[in-house]
Structure 1
């Protein structure tokens, strides 16, 4: 039986870069976590230790810093495309590049003062290869809660089922969403803001009989409102809020006092795409 090298990639993970734009008394701030992955004609380094085709990961890190200064950062999708295109064009051995970015938010306190935003994190993943370019934008840790208008009943039961059915529950989740853009010629900021607003609106306005139903409503709302989006993939952990038994203290508890359980939790995942479109697993 022969042994061969399989698919492989390498890169520099989690390069932290903060860029301050000082074009006047009002400064602008961008705070990113950038990861680069490269693949191509790299068999020799694995099989013989010949590193002639290997661009050091330290060089990849330095490129992130240099590009932040030379070109600025702008929107994370722009920055990711610029980096990925560079690595594929500049290195003959590299045929595929993926740049993934997390952008951390800061709230403005003044012209040059900021407070770190503890909310959701904006993300993107850019892929460039011989077949073209793909951009997947996203958001993680978007925490949402409905205090009512959520039920869960009529589910399958067996000898291990102890969960009581409910016609009124707290529904809470920390949304992780990624969406594929149909074109790299996009207003990235407007698209991100629009998708995020659609996700939040659908969650808030859906009377939920299951978190699965809410997931589909959120993905459908994005595709209805944002024509530049081809596919949405969602992961919704069910952040369980368990009713506290106050009877030992002589108190009733009509869905008012809960304990927020962090684990274990249900995890609901799914994708929503336009009818007739094929899922683009490579882009995600």
Structure 2
């Protein structure tokens, strides 16, 4: 039996960075979390401890900070592309650089005053190789809720099924969506807002008989409105809301008072893609 080294990579995870852009009295703010992973001809360090091809992860961290100072941060996709290309171009033993960025939003309150926006986290993942570049944008922790226009019935049952059918329920989820771009050149800000708007529009306007149906509607709407996107993957946890039984207090509850469940929860995942989309350069997932 032979024992061989499989796929491997290494890097610096979660480099926290806040970049203040000072333009007179009016300041800008970028708040990101950057993770870098490199792979390539790295067998020697695993098999014999030869580190001659290992760029220290501390160097990766320093590069993130230095590039933030010299180039600014801007859109997360653009910053990730800049970093990924740097590591592949400057390290001959590295054949792939993956850069993941979480971007945290801030709302302007004044020329140099801000309030953290916590309604979602914007994400970006860039893979740079000698064969090409892949850009994946997205968002996570985007909580949305419909108080009606959702049903769930006609489902399969067995001896363990206790869930009653319903023709009116709350439908709520925390959207985790990632979408793969057709190229590495786009107006990243415009594309992100367009995709987010399409997700919201589909959630609001879809009369849902299942969260799976809502997922497909959301993914389809993004592809219909964003021609620069090849495919989209969504993970939608079903944030259950249970009607409270108030009969012990001689009170009716006509769909007004609910318990917001925590766990366990249903988790619906799926991919919506163009049938002519080119294959992905690298694996990606929510």
Compared CA separation, residues 233 and 281, structure 1 to 2 (3 A) = farther
Q: Deviations over 1:17-44 (max 9, x none)?
A: 0000002211000000000000000000
2:164 corresponding residue in structure 1: 164
Shift of 1:176: 0.2
The whole-number CA distance in structure 2 between the counterparts of 1:21 and 1:123 is: 21
2:203 corresponding residue in structure 1: 203
1:232 aligns with 2:242: no
Preserved CA contact (<8 Å) 1:136 1:283: no
Shift of 1:276: 3.5
The whole-number CA distance in structure 1 between the counterparts of 2:247 and 2:281 is: 51
Preserved CA contact (<8 Å) 2:16 2:33: yes
TM-score (normalised: structure 2) = 0.98
3-state SS, counterpart of residue 11 of structure 1: strand
Q: Deviations over 1:193-252 (max 9, x none)?
A: 000000001000000000000000000000000000100000000000000000001001
2:6 corresponding residue in structure 1: 6
Preserved CA contact (<8 Å) 1:45 1:51: yes
3-state SS, counterpart of residue 53 of structure 1: coil
3-state SS, counterpart of residue 198 of structure 1: helix
3-state SS, counterpart of residue 35 of structure 1: strand
1:213 corresponding residue in structure 2: 213
The whole-number CA distance in structure 1 between the counterparts of 2:47 and 2:265 is: 43
Shift of 1:118: 1.4
3-state SS, counterpart of residue 54 of structure 1: coil
User: Please, which runs of 5 or more residues in structure 1 have no aligned partner?
Assistant: none
Shift of 1:283: 4.6
Compared CA separation, residues 60 and 22, structure 1 to 2 (3 A) = same
TM-score (normalised: structure 1) = 0.99
Deviating 4+ runs (over 6 angstroms): none
3-state SS, counterpart of residue 209 of structure 1: coil
How many residue pairs end up in the alignment?
A: 284
1:251 corresponding residue in structure 2: 251
2:61 corresponding residue in structure 1: 61
Shift of 1:277: 3.1
The whole-number CA distance in structure 2 between the counterparts of 1:199 and 1:99 is: 25
The whole-number CA distance in structure 1 between the counterparts of 2:119 and 2:224 is: 26
